[in-house]
Chains A and B, each alone.
Chain A
Amino acid sequence: MIHGLVQFSYILAAALFVFSLYWMSNPKTGKRSVTAGVLAMLLAVVATWIQPEVVHHGWIIIAIVAGFAVGIPLSRVSLTAVPQRTALSHAFGGMAAGLVGTAKFYLWFGEGPEQLTPFRVSAIVIEIILGFMTLTGSLMAAGKLMELKWVPQRPVTYPLQNVSNIGLLALAALLGVLLVLDPTGPWAGIIFPTIIGLSLLFGILLIIPIGGADMPTVISILNSYAGLSAVAMGFVLDNKLLIVAGALDGSSGLILSIIMCKAMNRSFTNVLFGAFGTVQAAKADAGERRYKEETPEGAAQILEQASLVVIIPGYGLAVAQAQHRVRELYDVLSKKGITVKFGIHPVAGRMPGHMNVLLAEADIPYDLQIEMDEINSEMPHCDVALVIGANDTVNPAARHDKSTPIYGMPIIDADKARAVFAIKRSKNPGFAGIENDLYFLDKTFMLFGDAKNVVGELVKKLSPDGVHG
């Protein structure tokens, strides 16, 4: 009776999870997604909890209360901090999978070798490798995103890095095979913790060579790993709901990674083993190229003459928290009858969709947030392209300069607009040290300063009650 009820709830939960993702296809139905997801999760938790084998309740209640205590503040972080929150939750997901795998192994180990079938042990090995490498990998990613002092921000590379990383993973896999062949042998007590240690180490070493610009891809890949570790847990526990939910998460991560890779014209292996941004350091010999600077007053005057303005945001917008000022700019320009659109590059920011969430937070309508391919067809008619804190995603060198690491990456054609304003924090070359050809065009004018202040100045100059009248 209870068994049937539990299974029925699981099936219902699986269906609700699918619907939950289905409703994410449109911002209008998005709200239903959360309702469906919460309902599904509630069903799954209750159905599991009422099973007769669950006899101790104290720790469960404590863990759930603690989960709420940590989860609620984590959900209230500012939206600029969403990438690191996401990385942290990948870490939690990986840890949960790793710990359950470990618990199950020692449980069956204690109960007797007949429990440790080759199938179960293989599933456990896959679960703990994926789980623990996701744990440390995501923590490293979160540390890089939070710009913690003791986590190196720039890609760290050393000789034979890729060989030793792959060797490490291969060693863990080899030990896994040994464990499957003889799960209760004299060495099993050492082999199992060694696999855990190697996976933890591998996670760290995997993320160390990766730079900020690659974070959207890396977060997506880690998302996929977290899902796959849940799938492996489903195999260990013989639970189909875990497999379904894990597969949904895994395929989501996979699709996002593919989109991110395409948007950077790079392959998976290139992202993971390429150490982006280290290649270019020495290319400062192009001679003295000069920026043309413009004042907010001058920029405001040109903006007033425009009929179509395209704003192209990048990570700099998030860093400066400039989204609300941008909203004000959008308001003044629209009041003057100027069309304002936002051109969003898929890898702008530090995670997929990062810019969209920030602009939505500032109440900028989502149908003005236009994806790259679509906005590019409008760029030739655009009077002013306003680049706010974006760099590589608007660098025309990606089209022709084979020596730059971003060669071949699709970009937003800011250079096709009649005039370009680029807001940039400092006169130094960008994070990755790649010079941006866009800044040196005849039609480009630089506005140096913090994005929030500069946009604020522009708004002031453009307001009817503004200083210049």
Chain B
Amino acid sequence: MTFAQTALADPEVQTAVEHSQQQTDFWSLLFVLLLSTFIGLGVIARVSRLLHTPLMSITNAISAIAVVGSIIVAGSEYPDDIRLLGAIALFASMTNIVSGFLITNRMLKMFKQERKEPVQ
């Protein structure tokens, strides 16, 4: 048995490892939040003012990424009442995804540049 293996077998070291894992996880999540907020602010600040309504409907659809959580809750081996909550959340997110992307698409198609003389 190598030293590392003996060390891992020791229950105290094991909890320490678990503990540190949880810590790093939390901090890395915060990192992701910080960096993606900066990216978000940078990208959104450049969005054309003409498109603020479509922007809001597409970010609406994007934040319905909550489907990911809802699918897990609705589909895992959990008690039925908990899965039901997940299924309702899934329905709500799915509605946002479908209507959000469709209406964004519909609105974006309407924005046309000026044509001085109609070509056709």
A interface residue numbers (CB < 8 A to B): 13-14, 17-18, 20-22, 24-28, 30-31, 33-34, 37-38, 40-41, 44-45, 48-49, 51, 53-57, 59-60, 62-64, 66-68, 70-72, 74-77, 79, 82, 85-86, 89-90, 92-93, 95-97, 99-100, 102-104, 106-107, 110, 117, 119, 219-220, 223, 226-227, 230-231, 233-256, 259, 344, 346, 351-354, 356-357, 360-361, 363, 365-369, 371
Contacts and interface: CB of A to CB of B under 8 A. Distances in A.
Given A85-B103, A353-B51, 9 more contacts: A49-B75, A67-B97, A76-B103, A95-B88, A96-B90, A107-B79, A110-B79, A248-B63, A357-B107
Contact of A353 (B55, B89, B93): B55
Contact of B113 (A82, A102, A367): A367
A250 B40 contact: yes
Contacts of B78: 103, 107
A103 B112 CA distance: 46
B32 A240 contact: yes
Interface of B: 22, 25-26, 28-29, 32-33, 36-37, 39-41, 43-79, 81-115
B36 A72 contact: no
29 contacts: A21-B40, A21-B62, A24-B47, A27-B111, A27-B113, A30-B108, A34-B104, A45-B71, A51-B72, A67-B92, A67-B94, A67-B97, A82-B53, A90-B60, A92-B64, A93-B92, A99-B70, A99-B88, A104-B73, A223-B60, A226-B63, A235-B26, A240-B29, A248-B43, A249-B40, A249-B59, A252-B56, A351-B56, A360-B110
Nearest to B79: A110
Given A24-B58, A67-B94, A357-B110, A100 B75 contact: no
Contacts of A96: 64, 66-67, 70, 89-90, 92-93, 96
Contacts of B74: 56, 59-60, 63
Interface majority SS (helix, strand, loop, mixed), chain A: helix
A356 B51 contact: yes
B53 A357 contact: yes
Contacts of A100: 66, 69-70, 73, 85-86, 89
- Mostly, the B contact residues are helix
A238 B103 CA distance: 31
A48 B67 contact: yes
Contact of A346 (B28, B49, B103): B49
B89 to A, nearest CB: 4
A98 B61 CA distance: 17
Contacts of B40: 21, 247-252
Nearest to A73: B99
Contacts, number: 379
Contacts of B49: 344, 346, 353, 356, 371
A193 to B, nearest CB: 13
Nearest to B65: A245
A22 B85 contact: no
A26 B51 CA distance: 8
Contacts of B56: 86, 219-220, 223, 252-253, 256, 351-353
CB-based closest 10 A-B pairs: A67-B94, A71-B98, A353-B52, A251-B40, A365-B114, A75-B102, A249-B63, A352-B52, A54-B75, A353-B53
Contacts of B58: 20-21, 24, 33-34, 37
Contact of A66 (B52, B91, B102, B104): B91
